Structure 1
């Protein structure tokens, strides 16, 4: 029986940081609401107010926020396990929570002035993040820049207070330098462009800026963040050492792992009461074919979870040592994230085939999970064969950044 633990957050004494197990339990306690609201989130193409409030009140958007400003500054493993639990209730909710925490992680690397702006009066402030092509409609002005641009696929922008986007600043002999620009959501507009077959509840619409002023303290060079080399951290204990790509992908694949795990649970639970059509078996559970499909799907789901855990454990290990991972390790993180998504997709495909054609009835939650995992696992960071090229280049001693900066 699922127990709603959201009220726990109001009872947390000021200054106490909940541990890994408590945060994961809070996420698990929200699954019933997420499951109940998933169809509505899909219909409206954004999370319901109840879901957003529940996630926020449980403190699950504070995972990467500095402790000095009321955040929890958790391990990357906690980010994975929390988003996976949420993904079991609703893949879109897990995905959005991962993105908003990744956005908050990036804000935590900005100068203290920017951090105080974001969280000084609201430790639950949420930051969406877009790693798309940098906007070039940038004019330098006194104290900052004026930004004009469009950024598609802005997951969670409907539920964010701030958004971090990429812009190109300057144009000297070395060419423009890509920066993160941090803007308030009330400074930009959102175009309704997210009409996709899956992950519909993520509200990944297009953010538009028209000559928005961004002060210098809300600009952060992009490449040092990718390489884990930023000096913008104020709190010396906040020393994650990893590529942003590794952290960002964890926020995405957690929801895929959770979705695949829930699809497995659903099919396994229903098997004893479902007929094995066209056979003499009393139910699906008695069919050797169903048993073989469950075994294959379980292996894929477990392998996906283990690959994802491996990424987080390596990132956390480097963080504890205060070191940056080498390029092979970073390239492997992108490759393992890609493989995680593929295994989840393959497992869910198997499970829907095993369940039968009624899995594709619009009233059946399996078809929603199937669409969500199929779309999510084809995110640009996982596709086009680029992660394989990146990892292969690193394995032969080359620089994978010659193929993609997302390493």
Structure 2
């Protein structure tokens, strides 16, 4: 199988922009991606980016995942978000032993795995050959379009701390509770997954810490060439979706400017107003900066993985903070653009209000918010262990 390169995959994503844009209203109304969008993403191979090559995937680098997510986000941030999460989920599923990978992709190289990094709270009972799991996980993006889900569980031990593992479960053996009623990113359908005494065999259970730290040699599938901290790559598709959405807002406002008046002024149209020009300059600069920062995150992950070197805690903490900064820059840029466009940006028929809501919700993902990324990086910079503050490092 010929593996498409980055320009080819980005071109495929660009080719879907009009379809994603057209279906974005339906995706938001139905609180899930349309079947047409999922089919288009699948047929373009854009949900195989992180699937192992031995099982029909592309095993691309993180920069490719970022650039594809940005391109998709220009059509629909929700679709780009789901593509990012499902590719990260496929990466995670690829880290399980071969037997698990064969189960996931043996009959279908387009199979998809969702991934949730929420703190584990389910009930776990160790039994012969595996574990029996019951519990709930909220905010599981991609659960409506996946065949598998990887979720954290806490296996009881005699020590003070439980043994945290990833459990890979077929979606057909869990239930999806309809809980995703949010103001933005509605199309992601990030509902709650419920397990009721689901048996997970030993080969679909892997320890969390080695995968978090990128120390996976001898622990998981040795065939995959890329290794790095899971949190270093999980955010890449998400920030790509935010950048793409912000770029879509910029494109829309620029295109409409020559035909829009400036209320209460004598300017022929918005493009003649210095204020509009300044707003465009500010928003464009912030989006360009977000792209540069995001590229550094992805390139850092790729360079370390190619060198076979694990990122130290300071780099990992920096990546998390910089992901947060990308989201903030996109949010600020879109706020400026809506002001520049005028109050009609908030009309429900105007796509700007949807992009505004998507970026505002997406940029406040738990991995980006509440000041924790700043604390994590600050702790690392003074020689402390940022994992004392958050397990997402």
Partner of 2:24: 38
Aligned mates of 2:392, 2:307 — CA distance in 1 = 23
* Equivalent of 1:332 in 318, 323, 326: 318
- Secondary structure in 2 matching 1:375: helix
What per-residue deviation string (whole Å, max 9, x for no partner) do you get for residues 314-372 of structure 1?
Answer: 11110111111111111110000000000000000000000000000001000000000
Q: Alpha-carbon deviation of 1:175?
A: 3.4
TM-score (normalised: structure 1)? 0.95
Partner of 1:198: 184
- Secondary structure in 2 matching 1:181: strand
Aligned mates of 1:240, 1:398 — CA distance in 2 = 28
Partner of 2:352: 366
Matched, 1:133 2:119: yes
**Count of aligned residue pairs for this structure pair:** 392
Matched, 1:92 2:81: no
Instruction: Report matched runs for 1:81-230 at 5 Å.
Output: 81-230=67-216
Conservation of the 8 A alpha-carbon contact between 2:122 and 2:136: no
Aligned mates of 2:316, 2:162 — CA distance in 1 = 26
Conservation of the 8 A alpha-carbon contact between 1:155 and 1:204: yes
Where do 5+ consecutive residues of structure 2 fail to align? none
Matched, 1:55 2:41: yes
Partner of 1:284: 270
Matched, 1:262 2:248: yes
* Equivalent of 1:234 in 209, 221, 231: 221
Aligned mates of 2:274, 2:9 — CA distance in 1 = 39
* Equivalent of 1:318 in 298, 304, 308: 304
- Secondary structure in 2 matching 1:146: strand
Q: Alpha-carbon deviation of 1:234?
A: 3.2
Partner of 1:295: 281
Structure 1 moving runs of 4+ over 6 Å: none
Partner of 1:74: 60
Conservation of the 8 A alpha-carbon contact between 2:324 and 2:369: yes
Partner of 1:9: none
- Secondary structure in 2 matching 1:18: coil
Comparing 227-236 with 142-151, greater Cα deviation is found at 227-236
Aligned mates of 2:322, 2:314 — CA distance in 1 = 12
- Secondary structure in 1 matching 2:367: helix
Where do 5+ consecutive residues of structure 1 fail to align? 1-14
Matched, 1:354 2:340: yes
Aligned mates of 2:238, 2:121 — CA distance in 1 = 24
Conservation of the 8 A alpha-carbon contact between 1:233 and 1:239: no
Conservation of the 8 A alpha-carbon contact between 2:77 and 2:358: yes
TM-score (normalised: structure 2)? 0.98
What per-residue deviation string (whole Å, max 9, x for no partner) do you get for residues 90-141 of structure 1?
Answer: 0000000000000011111100000110011111110011111213311111
Conservation of the 8 A alpha-carbon contact between 1:241 and 1:325: no
Aligned mates of 2:222, 2:45 — CA distance in 1 = 20
Aligned mates of 1:190, 1:100 — CA distance in 2 = 16
Conservation of the 8 A alpha-carbon contact between 1:66 and 1:235: no
Q: Alpha-carbon deviation of 1:162?
A: 0.3
Q: Alpha-carbon deviation of 1:170?
A: 2.6
Conservation of the 8 A alpha-carbon contact between 1:144 and 1:214: yes
Aligned mates of 1:289, 1:348 — CA distance in 2 = 16
Conservation of the 8 A alpha-carbon contact between 2:297 and 2:322: yes
- Secondary structure in 1 matching 2:74: helix
